[in-house]
Amino acid sequence: MTRNGDESLSLGERTARVQQCENADLLISIHTNASVSMKAQGIETFFYLHKSSPAHIRLGNDELIGSGILLNNTLDIQSKCLAECVHSELLQGATFRNPSVVDRGIKQEGAQLLLGVEIPAILVELGFLTHPVEGQLLAANEEYTDDLAWAVCLGIEKYFASKVA
């Protein structure tokens, strides 16, 4: 874990803490989303495909373009599998209390937090705090957030049971 309480860390501080973690098997970064549009909603999961072009590197990573950060294909396959396992469980877990949950998909992105990590790594957006229904569930419904936390755990179990892990 990069923090134990409700403290604000810069992106650089979060990345540094992640890269300092020893003996970790996975990196799962959990977030909630926001948008200027109150219509934006849904769950999405990101993984970094190291073979993608520098054009895929986004989310505040201008300094990393052309840095030559490349890892092996096995790590890419493991990260993609982890994303698929966790994402599918999140959608299933969210549907019980939010039948209209939107699947925003699994996406390849070069989020700074995922770059340079030498273990399977994903970034999960649990939904939009700015959406009227989803935001209320995320902010005020403990059962819903417990369902999502449990879904992440089930996704991790599913990943470790796969032949890819």
For residue 17, the SS3 value is: helix
pLDDT of residue 71: 42
pLDDT digit string, tens, across residues 14-54: 777 777 777 888 989 899 999 999 999 999 999 876 655 44
Cα-based angle 31, 59, 55 (whole degrees, multiple of 5): 135
Retrieve residue 103's tokens.
């699947």
Question: Which CATH superfamily hosts domain 23-161?
Answer: Zn-dependent exopeptidases (3.40.630.40)
Supply 87's token pair.
Answer: 């994402």
Residue pair 79/155 in contact (Cβ under 8 Å)? The answer is no
Measure CA of the first residue to CA of the last residue in the chain; give whole Å.
21
In contact, 114 and 47? CB cutoff 8 Å: yes
Q: What is the pLDDT of residue 65?
A: 40
- pTM score: 0.82
E-strand ranges in the chain read 27-33, 43-47, 103-108, 121-128
* Cα–Cα distance for residue pair 27/153, rounded to 1 Å: 13
Q: Which residues pair with 124 in a beta bridge?
A: 30, 45
